[in-house]
Chains A and B, each alone.
Chain A
């Protein structure tokens, strides 16, 4: 019945769209996707006669969005997803879901509001959806990342998809300041079960004063809180975070100078829970950027100090659930051991991803990034980052190189502090511009090196852990809009780290010895045809090899064929 209702709404909207004249009151937009995967698995040493060596999967789906404007000040968006997993002919694998629903509009030509699904963010220390990768992925694999991000509502602007209400308005001034902007939101994190799970909300807002093009200052406030009385649970978490963000901007004809800072504090407490020790801490961030416009050349300096007890669920929640189980070849080898999460899973398995914010720090995998696993708001870090780069120089290239030196503020289990040194280089060269060739030839190179060290007076205090990633991507336009793709990513992790284990309250209660010498490589050859900017067909052959030199897990490889079709309309 739900499916019929959704279809009926869509059909109604289609008719309404065809009947309109110059002012559209209803129209249909959406996206469509078809994916076919053919995966073949094998162990690197010995044989595995238990695990099926081939796995085919895929789906088609259509997201149909009804866009309705009942009046000039109101807009309704309802998106339904029809998905058919391959192998589910005649309705067997078909699912219908209402994927998105919101209403937005303007009240009194003054207050903008949105009710229902929201994509929202504030600052990297209050409410921010950090990317899943600390290192870069070549363009040949970008299609997978885009599909996961689309399915999980992760936008390029690092917003979190939430359900609730949001509003904003602004005041403009004739003197002393240009504008003052007010933004507020309230979202529901989980409903009560009327037993021992209380209603949990996440709310906040910001007030920003745009004094002029030279100076801006604003305050931000967010809080995750349980509502007492909505269940039998007499305890309730409260995690308010308040920050001030300010920026001074000095543009000249040739130079852009920018000085920004954000600082604030957090306090985490659980009402009526005497076993929980309330924690509070502060952070600050100073950011300088100088840009030389004639050459599009820039340099950046950033210093951070994020306290060990700084707690900001809106900014520290992870996209990836590293405690989750993989979907493809979940168990392998003749002993049918569980296959741990690998790069290919993070790249294309949407079931490993989170929709919700987490009240406490979640588990992470050090080999996917150990310096700032929770993004810029990672607690217990201080240090600086130096960056230089050039954007789109004569359409020849873009590049950025950075060096980051961080350390802990307090030690974990010892007074000795870890230090984290990260260097990154990312460059894209548009080779066709050198040779004046019309068709695009793009070459991408990324490298990422992250070293974690700690030296103590005793051997058991020492930590020495390295992550390296090297990526190469080539994209050649052969005939108009038909691209040949090559992508290679290697991720190597080696060394010893003591991984902090936290309890449900986020306190470090133990350490787990994490020793690894793991090599992962992902290589792809592909063809992509761009029907338009929003309509692409891509075929990839790719090979992934996972090799554990310590033999904690048996090495394995996947050979994969993937055909993806994406359309937005």
Chain B
């Protein structure tokens, strides 16, 4: 019996000699509840940057404890904004590196930027920074309306009242470049007010858009502006796939997917992004089975249609469209 007890205790003692990580768990309480002091004020790593040449910029500041901070970079001409938010003691290259992207439309221009840091809603710092050049977003631009209508595109506009399906720079500031597409009118006999179609042939020598095969790698992005006074706008993007690759879309036996935007739109220009893999099949606003091979295949995308709709009894409706682009790996605003 004693032998068994000693054996057991020996094994236990050997085992308990194992090492263990004795670091404290969680953030230091002093970071959360200690006194707050500014150890280093806001600084910018360089006064200006040529983002087009691959340059980046970052901002630094240090505090004595963890703070909730928000760094806002605002273009003095464009009004574009890039916002960094985090909770940390230190701002450095790891959490504030900027290569010219935006968080809120419009796009930045080559311009002076105001930079504001707000920590714990009470401490504020300001500085400035100059953008010398910008990087164009990477992706397949379907339409930016800067060079008029592409002859391959087609439009259909009902003969309603106050119709205005045209490219313009009037009525709102363009979020990208100078021009955007204005869709407006009143049609009291049909939901459809008008539409514009972008065929794949406008972008490649085949009839399909030059996109990767994997739907998880492809994001569809479009900039849309619906005035605050408009509550009846319905924007329907349709994506028609040429499943059998015969050069045309056949509704009876090929897939069509859609994005339907309606309801309360946020104020101002907004970027709507959706992963291609998340597209759904919709018929008359209700989910439906696709008619084709039921696979989401961006490389077989044959045509994009944008239908601008409104309830015929609801009167006048209006929406603006700009910068329709496919991006790879991530949406236009990550």
Contact = CB atoms under 8 A, between A and B. Distances in A.
Interface of A: 214-215, 232, 244, 246, 248, 250, 259, 261, 263, 265, 281-282, 284, 286, 305, 307-309, 380, 409-415, 456, 458, 460-461, 498, 500, 507-511
The number of chain B residues touching the other chain, given as a range, is 20 to 34
Nearest to A461: B29
Contact of B4 (A215, A307, A309): A215
B273 to A, nearest CB: 19
B173 interface: no
A508 B29 CA distance: 12
Contacts of B38: none
B4 A284 contact: no
A508 B26 contact: yes
Among B12, B18, B24, B26, residue most surrounded by chain A Cβ atoms (within 10 Å) = B26
Contacts of A510: 26-27, 32
Contacts of A305: 16
B20 interface: yes
B37 interface: no
B33 A281 contact: no
Contact of B33 (A263, A460, A507): A460
Contacts of B8: 246, 248, 259, 261
A411 B24 contact: yes
A263 B15 contact: yes
Contacts of B12: 261, 263, 284, 286
Interface in B17-41: 18, 20-30, 32-34
Contacts of B27: 413, 508-511
B166 interface: no
A35 B127 CA distance: 69
A282 B18 contact: yes
Contacts of B270: none
Given A244-B11, A259-B5, A261-B12, 7 more contacts: A248-B5, A261-B8, A308-B21, A413-B28, A456-B29, A458-B29, A460-B34
A511 B24 contact: no
Given A458-B29, A511-B29, A410 B1 contact: no
B216 interface: yes
B34 A412 contact: no
Contacts of B20: 281-282, 307-309, 409
A189 to B, nearest CB: 25
A460 B4 contact: no
Contact of B16 (A284, A380, A456, A458): A284
A500 B8 CA distance: 36
Given A500-B26, A509-B26, A509-B27, A413 B32 contact: yes
Contacts of B26: 412-413, 500, 507-511
A232 B5 CA distance: 52
Nearest to A265: B18
Interface string B230-249: 00000000000000000000
Contacts of A414: 24, 28-30
B24 A413 contact: yes
A114 to B, nearest CB: 33
Contacts of A500: 25-26
14 contacts: A261-B8, A281-B20, A282-B16, A282-B18, A309-B21, A409-B20, A410-B23, A410-B24, A411-B25, A412-B26, A413-B28, A414-B28, A500-B26, A509-B26
